[in-house]
Amino acid sequence: MELTPQDFNRKSIRLKDYNYSTAGNYFITIVVNERKHLLGLMANERVLLNDAGRMVEDYLKRIPQIHTNASVTDHVIMPNHIHLILHLDGDLNHETGNHVFEVMRRMKSQTTLQYMHGVREHHWQPFHRHLWQRNYFEHIIRNQRSFDYIRGYIIDNPKRWKYDSLNSEHTEQVDNIMSAITMLT
C-alpha cells in the first residue's frame, strides 16, 4: 500500500484548545486493529476474557501506580475493544505523564509489548501490524448525568453485544451512544 500526503493530514477528533490534562472524567474506547476478537469471547451475554484480555485488565488496574493522579473508575473489556472511564485528579500537566494522550499512548504501547510476548511464548493469536487501531475515541464527561449514563453503558455492554456497532455480527439496530451522550450534556 502506497501512502499519500493525505494519509498524514488526518483530521483530529479532539476538541481544539482543550487541555486534556484537566482534572475530570473521560470516556474512552480503544479498538483492536481490524476489530479482531483477540481479548476473549462472548457467552450468554458475558465476556470470557482470555489470557490477553486478562493482561489488558491487569494493566488498567495498575494505571494509578503508573500515572500519578490517574485511575480507571469503570471499564469493560470486550472481545475486540475496551470501554473505560479515565479519571484525572488534581494538578496535572503533560510533563508528568498525567495527560489523557500519554496515559492512552503508554497503555497501548505496553499492552502491545506484553501481547507480542504472549504470541511468542504462549501462542496467543497473532495480530497484523498493530494490536490497536491507530487512534482511540474519547469524550469529556461534563456532568453527573452523563457520567451515570456512560457508566451504565459500560456495565451493560456485554448484555448489549448484539447492538454493539463494534460487533461485526450484530443482529439488531446498533446503539448510538454518542447521540445519547450529546443529548445529556
pLDDT (tens digit, 9 = 90+) per residue, 3-60?
Answer: 444 444 444 455 566 666 788 999 999 999 999 999 999 999 999 999 999 999 999 9
The answer to whether residue 3 is domain-embedded is no
CATH number of the domain encompassing residue 33: 3.30.70.1290
- In the prediction, which pLDDT does 9 show? 47
The answer to whether residue 8 is domain-embedded is no
- In the prediction, which pLDDT does 3 show? 43
The answer to whether residue 9 is domain-embedded is no
Average pLDDT over residues 131-159: 93
Q: Is 2 exposed, middle or buried (0-12, 13-18, 19+ CB in 10 A)?
A: exposed
The answer to whether residue 5 is domain-embedded is no
- In the prediction, which pLDDT does 165 show? 82
Average pLDDT over residues 62-82: 95
Per the structure, the count of domains in the chain is: 1
Strand 81-88 to 137-141 pairing: unpaired
The answer to whether residue 10 is domain-embedded is no
Rounded CA separation 80/70 (Å):
24
The answer to whether residue 47 is domain-embedded is yes
Contacts of 152 (CB under 8 A, 6+ apart): none
Segments of 32-90 assigned E as strands: 40-43, 46-49, 70-77, 81-88
| Domain coverage including residue 65 | 16-184
The answer to whether residue 172 is domain-embedded is yes
Assign 179 a pLDDT band (cuts: 50, 70, 90). low
Least confident of 8-17, 93-102, 171-180: 8-17
The separation between CA 35 and the C-alpha centre of its own chain, rounded to angstroms, equals 13
Assign 168 a pLDDT band (cuts: 50, 70, 90). confident
Q: At 57, give phi and psi (nearest 5°).
A: -60, -40
List Cβ<8 Å contacts ≥24 apart for 42-49.
42/78, 42/79, 42/158, 42/161, 45/158, 45/159, 45/161, 46/158, 47/76, 47/77, 47/78, 47/79, 47/158, 49/77
The answer to whether residue 161 is domain-embedded is yes
